[in-house]
Amino acid sequence: NQDKPSNHNINPSANLDGMSKGLTNYGDRGFSLFLRKAFIKGAGYTDKALDRPVIGITNTGSSYNPCHGNAPQLIEAVKRGVLMAGGLPMDFPTISIHESFSSPNSMFLRNLMSMDTEELLRAQPMDAVVLIGGCDKTVPAQLMGAASAGLPAVQLITGSMLTGSHRGERVGACTDCRRYWGKFRADEIDAEEIADVNNQLVASVGTCSVMGTASTMACIAEALGMTVPGGASPPAVTADRIRVAERSGELAVEIARKQLTIDKILTAKAFENAMRVLLAIGGSTNGIVHLTAIAGRMGFEIDLDALDRMGRDTPVLLDLKPSGDHYMEDFHHAGGMATLLRELKPLLHLDALTVTGRTLGEELDAQGPGFEQHVVRTSANPIYPQGGIAVLRGNLAPGGAIIKQSAANPKLMEHEGRAVVFENLEDMANRIDADDLDVTADDILVLKNIGPKGAAMPEAGYMPIPRKLARAGVKDIIRISDGRMSGTAFGTIVLHVTPESAIGGPLAYVQSGDRIKLSVANRELTLLVNAEELGRRAQAKPVVEPTATRGYRKLFLQSVTQADKGADFDFLMPPATAGSIPKDK
Ligand code: FES
Ligand code: MG
């Protein structure tokens, strides 16, 4: 019954009894509420408009963020849904982060966005929130912030961009960006053609059209139960996407009334489902770091070794670039996440609750049996027989490292070779293309100081093939670093080496000429140098950790954790008392 006295924050007639979000404290609660009401009335609201659940809507639109270029239409549709369901929509700005316009890199800003999101959800009166995110770091930041703030929340994805067409060939950001730039560097195409394709790679607003980090996090958000069913896949400019937005607004009012808080959704089972999905979509390696950070906000620890075991019986089913051939809009036409989840059913916790108030299994049943399509494979005929991501251990990575095996070269996955070491990004930039670089295709490139403290973990783990090798036709070489790589990249690339070199992890003491052994089959990453020698090197040239004198960078360097803890800030994570995920089988 909507006529009874409301329990919402803007209306002064209610909510004086132990409300969760305290009013601005002038020492007189009645006066505080009176002031709040006076100011909101300055925007032209009547008492009737204020006497209903208040739904916050995060506006992450920005001229710097074409991935969120549909934010105005989404907000309008969310508001419509909120009003239809009897709520009061209140949109407000937060930080927006775009991959290409974030210096030094977007990962540096992810935790800042999570803090901004968390504090604005806390500070402003709202009974539930719709989080509008899309570009790589935004959805993780919002889920981290909302998890900490604790109120009912729905994640709304901005949606993928459309694909373009270049001289008859279908193209999309950004696996094809890399491919065309490679052709241009190799003189296979001219300046006119590279300018032409530049107009086609990003054919509309929306997020990257392949299974990069944005698409990965969209699928993970749906697998977690945080979106409306089918919320991951509709492209940004479609009517389907706008309808998802309208439904998200409606749903936010429902969960506000039911007080379906985020802790009821982000459970151990939900995180396990999300891990299955990450493995089965051939998702971005960044997905692990983000999922670890989100789970960390709920007091869970991600067990990388158990995740690896989970990967051994989770096939890659989704045929999207860079592991496969298609684009996000094809996934949407193939039925989106429902098609994938139906195929994964035996591996999922179907009793995990979603924001609809129904379980994942109930939502899947409601969507019917599916239809013939060519984008999601069956378990009997997978793209890759195991999960896309494997976890490596060894004296070079005592805290673990990962490799995206579905995008690696099978010939290099069992290999021993000589290390060719670059001390940092600048050293690599200076020497990688030199004609006198001492390197062969059998060597292993090692890049130091691109971990969380070293350089805020840029996507520089995808080192270029040294020019002399590229000219000789070499397409892949083993690369090892403490950094990340873009979800749109491919190659035999070991990432997230933990602990990182900048804090004195073993990686810091690798020298050119050392031998390194990689065995993906045995999940092994070994530096063939004994502990005494490594100790001697550490004593001769101890690592000095990077510091900063002021500002956010100082906070970042003081507080950022290692990749296996999600590279979150230590002071934002509650004690990890909720247990480890996945539960071992
Ligand atoms: Fe925004 Fe790729 S740049 S999703
Ligand atoms: Mg990316």
- Ligand 1 neighbourhood includes 161 CB (under 6 angstroms): no
Q: How many helices (H) and strands (E) does the chain have?
A: 20, 16
Cβ-contact 478, 446 below 8 angstroms: no
**pTM of the predicted structure, to 2 decimals:** 0.95
Instruction: Summarize pLDDT for 29-75 with one digit per residue, the tens.
Output: 788 888 888 999 999 999 888 889 999 999 999 999 999 999 999 99
- Ligand 1 neighbourhood includes 459 CB (under 6 angstroms): no
Residue 23 has what pLDDT? 53
Alpha helices, H only, 224-348 = 239-258, 268-280, 286-297, 304-312, 328-333, 337-344
Q: Per-residue confidence at 15, pLDDT binned at 50, 70, 90? A: very low
SS3 content of the chain, % helix, strand, coil (to 5): 40, 15, 45
pLDDT above 70 covers a percentage of the chain that reads 95
User: Which residues have their alpha-adjacent CB atom under 5 A from ion ligand 2?
Assistant: 136, 212-213, 486
Ligand 1 centroid to residue 66 C-alpha, Å: 8
Which atom of ligand 1 lies at the shortest distance from residue 66's CA?
1
The DSSP secondary structure of 361-382, one letter per residue, reads HHHHHHT-S----SSBPPTTS-
Which ligand has its closest atom nearest to the C-alpha of 69? Answer: 1
CA separation for the pair 46, 90 (Å, rounded)? 15
CA separation for the pair 529, 523 (Å, rounded)? 19
Ligand 1 centroid to residue 333 C-alpha, Å: 21
Ligand 1 centroid to residue 178 C-alpha, Å: 14
- Ligand 1 neighbourhood includes 98 CB (under 6 angstroms): yes
> Residue range 490-515: average pLDDT?
97
C-alpha distances in Å from residue 313, one per residue of 37, 87, 229, 346: 56, 44, 25, 11
The DSSP secondary structure of 235-264, one letter per residue, reads -TTSHHHHHHHHHHHHHHHHHHHHT--GGG
- Ligand 1 neighbourhood includes 290 CB (under 6 angstroms): no
Cβ-contact 236, 250 below 8 angstroms: no
Residue linked to tokens 């890759």: 384
Instruction: Summarize pLDDT for 162-187 with one digit per residue, the tens.
Output: 999 999 999 999 888 988 988 887 78
- Ligand 1 neighbourhood includes 212 CB (under 6 angstroms): yes
Which of 99, 132, 328 has most ligand 1 atoms within 8 Å of CB, for mutation? 99
CA separation for the pair 252, 260 (Å, rounded)? 10
Ligand 1 centroid to residue 155 C-alpha, Å: 17
> Residue range 491-513: average pLDDT?
97
> Residue range 15-42: average pLDDT?
67
